[in-house]
Structure 1
């Protein structure tokens, strides 16, 4: 029917108006996801700082000869007496005080991951000056490298469990990648959570960056068609 077809055509939106509605909806969704991505990136930075500083990667248990706990570079161990008094030592600024070469390497890699994620947060300011897709992709690479550095830190750290001071605390069964009577503490687990977080955030940043690039190309094509 001619009248019906006219009514349908009248209800149809012009292509430019439809494109604008799609653009506005896309930008709202993109900003919302971007805000969540930024928030979780800040959370990752907090996790990274905590696992680097806190000396609770491994620790004693009820069956260990001595009380104590170890981090990447700082550790506290007892003297075997019943009062369980702890002597704390080790500092990143005094690199020679770290009891194992593996602990030193793990400390450096976790520090690198912390620097990378803090640099990523600092680069958020570039969203006001640079192409959004470029900033997302730059942050994605930094987050990916952050995850890799955390993985290396977590993998290398157990290689130093055979050092004498840990064997004294955890027992004779302790060796490389074998913790004896000691147990993994919360900072080590938090570092593993940070690895997963960094990989997910990196993937999301790559997706956001690629979608921004694709949408920009579509807009340019639409503008060029409109000019013709």
Structure 2
């Protein structure tokens, strides 16, 4: 049977290996989450027309596209460099919150480079707070966005019955669903980062050495 010192050393080695494997998985998922945030932020497909809609069109946070009767195509308006053309103040506010959440997630990615300069526990905890804040901002953005569904451009596409928090004859687009999924992702990733950070605090020091056996010099 292994003595206590050898058992402790083996346990420590296995513990560190498992923690690093989970840390790599967390970093990969954080990268995927950042990609989802960018897609949700820039794509104008938060809501869109259906077969029952009086007009073709789709809307994002700042950019939207409406059907044109002459060209039989879509004409796009607005953008993050032309906030004055955004149909609703609620859309602008949602864009601010979702954009800030995206920046926080991207910042957490940049913080991964701090593993070379700071303790792993500190980096995990910083990233955890950034991701938790991003989740809160995404919640605000997703809750505020429907408040702008009474905009004339939205009613033109989705029907006269469209109102705040009532989408009429349109449907929720994939960018909105990605944002909602991002909330869950951010909460799970932040929780995992907190757990990893606390576990790193409990790891034995790198210079751990087993005590000499009885009778050893």
Alignment TM-score, normalising by the size of structure 1: 0.88
Unmatched 5+ stretches in structure 2:
213-217
Structure 1 residue aligned with 2:10: 21
CA distance in 2, matches of 1:40, 1:51: 16
1:46 aligns with 2:35: yes
Q: Check whether the contact 1:127–1:135 (CA below 8 A) recurs between aligned residues.
A: yes
1:31 aligns with 2:48: no
TM superposition shift of 1:15: 2.3
Larger radius of gyration between Structure 1 and Structure 2: 1
TM superposition shift of 1:83: 6.3
CA distance in 1, matches of 2:151, 2:168: 13
Secondary structure, in 3 states, of the residue corresponding to 2:58?
Answer: strand
After TM superposition, the structure 1 = structure 2 runs for residues 67-86 of structure 1, keeping only pairs within 5 Å, are 67-79=56-68, 81=69, 84-86=72-74
Cα deviation 1:28-77 (Å, max 9, x = unaligned)? 11011001100000000000000001001100011111100000000001
1:155 aligns with 2:135: no
CA distance in 2, matches of 1:82, 1:158: 30
TM superposition shift of 1:91: 1.0
Q: Check whether the contact 2:54–2:159 (CA below 8 A) recurs between aligned residues.
A: yes
Structure 1 residue aligned with 2:92: 104
TM superposition shift of 1:86: 1.6
The count of aligned residue pairs is: 210
Aligned-residue Cα RMSD (Å) equals 1.8
Instruction: Sort the Cα spacing of 1:65 and 1:83 in 2 relative to 1 into closer, same or farther, 3 A.
Output: farther
Q: Check whether the contact 1:147–1:199 (CA below 8 A) recurs between aligned residues.
A: yes
CA distance in 2, matches of 1:101, 1:75: 14
TM superposition shift of 1:82: 8.4
Alignment TM-score, normalising by the size of structure 2: 0.92
Which of these residues, 186, 191, 197, is aligned with residue 198 of structure 1?
186
CA distance in 2, matches of 1:84, 1:59: 17
Q: Hey, which of these two has a bigger chunk of helix by percent?
A: 1
Secondary structure, in 3 states, of the residue corresponding to 1:45?
Answer: helix
After TM superposition, the structure 1 = structure 2 runs for residues 122-141 of structure 1, keeping only pairs within 5 Å, are 122-141=110-129
CA distance in 1, matches of 2:108, 2:198: 18
